[in-house]
Amino acid sequence: MDDLPANLTHHRAIAPNANCVLDGTVWYSPAKSFWFIGMACGAFIGGALTFSVGAVALFVAATATVLLFGHSLGSHRKLIHDSFACPLWLEYILVYCGVQVGLAGPLGLLRQHELRDYAQRLPDCHDYLRHGQSPWRDAWWQLHCELELENPPEVRIEPRIANDRFYQFLERSWMLQQLPIALLFYLWGGWAFVFWGVCARVTAGVFGHWLIGYFAHNHGGMHYEMRGAAVQGRNIYFTSLLTMGECWHNNHHAFPGSARLGLRAGEFDPGWSALVLLRQLGLVWDLRLPADLPARAELREINSRISVS
Ligand SMILES: [Zn+2]
Ligand SMILES: [Zn+2]
């Protein structure tokens, strides 16, 4: 399998051949591991010692805000997929909220997404890139390790994003960006607000991102099959509110450039609802839908919902 499928010719990732996403080594990453373990310790130990209803309410509100406006709208639907238009100041606010999830800087997250997306569209890829191992090993890999490919594809980020000084600043300082929020929360509600509003929020965001990523490539319904792809996306039902609509991952594999992820009746998509509201306020426009995207030869619609576990 040396030839690349035609649908990958206009991808941010560029590789000489399809094998480049197969061979690699998963190695322990102390920075990634300590970041997650440190936040989890703060959440479970500090959170238990300082428990209060107000702190838990702050955790819920702050987590929902960064997942909806930050991760789903800012990082994913705007920066990565450019599925809607908005003023630059609003894009900056949304992407800054995305950095608050605590996964990576904006450029690093974009690179990770593009590498995964590229690898998953090829006929075969490393298990790390498609969540192809048991949940235990996958959790260890994704939360504590990095994959080093022998010949990694080059990911070219367009100059508008790559040369943006604000994004470069966030890329260098994404972990430190928790500090101003932590200080604000400390002044507002003491250590309880820091443990719940920062540590528990980051723990939930990072762990939830892995958990949904695992299920979204292993278990769940499918409306569409991407022929020739190493792995299919899955729709995970009953997790709309937890994921802000990102759970409709089978739809996303089929229509990556669509601003709307929940496409059928009953597929509640809070991210899309927020975009519709922002459009009514005149803050976003040109929301792209599946019908606006170029046809894909490898896309096959499955008539009935297939539930695979
Ligand atoms: Zn995927
Ligand atoms: Zn995506």
Kindly identify the ligand whose nearest atom is closest to the C-alpha of 129: 1
Residue 2 lies in a domain: no
Whether the predicted pLDDT of 264 surpasses 60: yes
Kindly identify the ligand whose nearest atom is closest to the C-alpha of 256: 2
Residue 239 lies in a domain: yes
Kindly identify the ligand whose nearest atom is closest to the C-alpha of 235: 1
Would you state the pLDDT for residue 18?
A: 76
214 Cα: distance to centroid of ligand 1 (angstroms): 9
Average pLDDT score over the chain: 95
Kindly identify the ligand whose nearest atom is closest to the C-alpha of 77: 2
Proportion of the chain above pLDDT 90, given as a percent:
91
Neighbours of ion ligand 1 (CB under 5 A): 233
Kindly identify the ligand whose nearest atom is closest to the C-alpha of 12: 2
Q: Tell me the two tokens of residue 76.
A: 């994913």
156 Cα: distance to centroid of ligand 1 (angstroms): 19
45 Cα: distance to centroid of ligand 1 (angstroms): 33
The angle formed by the CA atoms of residues 8, 308 and 7, to the nearest 5 degrees, is 10
Residue 165 lies in a domain: yes
pLDDT tens string 183-223: 999 999 999 999 999 999 999 999 999 999 999 999 999 99
Residue 9 lies in a domain: no
pLDDT tens string 9-43: 789 998 878 788 999 999 999 999 999 999 999 99
Kindly identify the ligand whose nearest atom is closest to the C-alpha of 81: 2
Would you state the pLDDT for residue 242?
A: 95
Residue 253 lies in a domain: yes
pTM of the model as a whole: 0.95
Q: Is the dihedral of CA 259, 263, 268, 273 positive or negative?
A: positive
Whether the predicted pLDDT of 158 surpasses 70: yes
Would you state the pLDDT for residue 305?
A: 53
Residue 71 lies in a domain: yes
Those residues whose C-beta lies under 8 Å from the C-beta of residue 16, and which sit 6 or more positions away, are: 151
Number of structural domains the chain divides into: 1
Domain of residue 21, residue span = 15-308
245 Cα: distance to centroid of ligand 1 (angstroms): 14
- CA 154 to CA 87: how far, in whole Å? 29
Residue 7 lies in a domain: no
Residue whose structure tokens are 């560029």: 14
180 Cα: distance to centroid of ligand 1 (angstroms): 32
194 Cα: distance to centroid of ligand 1 (angstroms): 33
pLDDT band (50, 70, 90) for residue 3 = low
Stretch (H or E) spanning 24: strand 24-28
78 Cα: distance to centroid of ligand 2 (angstroms): 10
Kindly identify the ligand whose nearest atom is closest to the C-alpha of 80: 2
Kindly identify the ligand whose nearest atom is closest to the C-alpha of 259: 2
Kindly identify the ligand whose nearest atom is closest to the C-alpha of 216: 1
Whether the predicted pLDDT of 1 surpasses 90: no
DSSP code of residue 134: -
- Which is nearest to 260 in space by CA: 248, 196, 75? 248
pLDDT tens string 267-283: 999 999 999 999 999 99
Residue 3 lies in a domain: no
Whether the predicted pLDDT of 309 surpasses 60: no
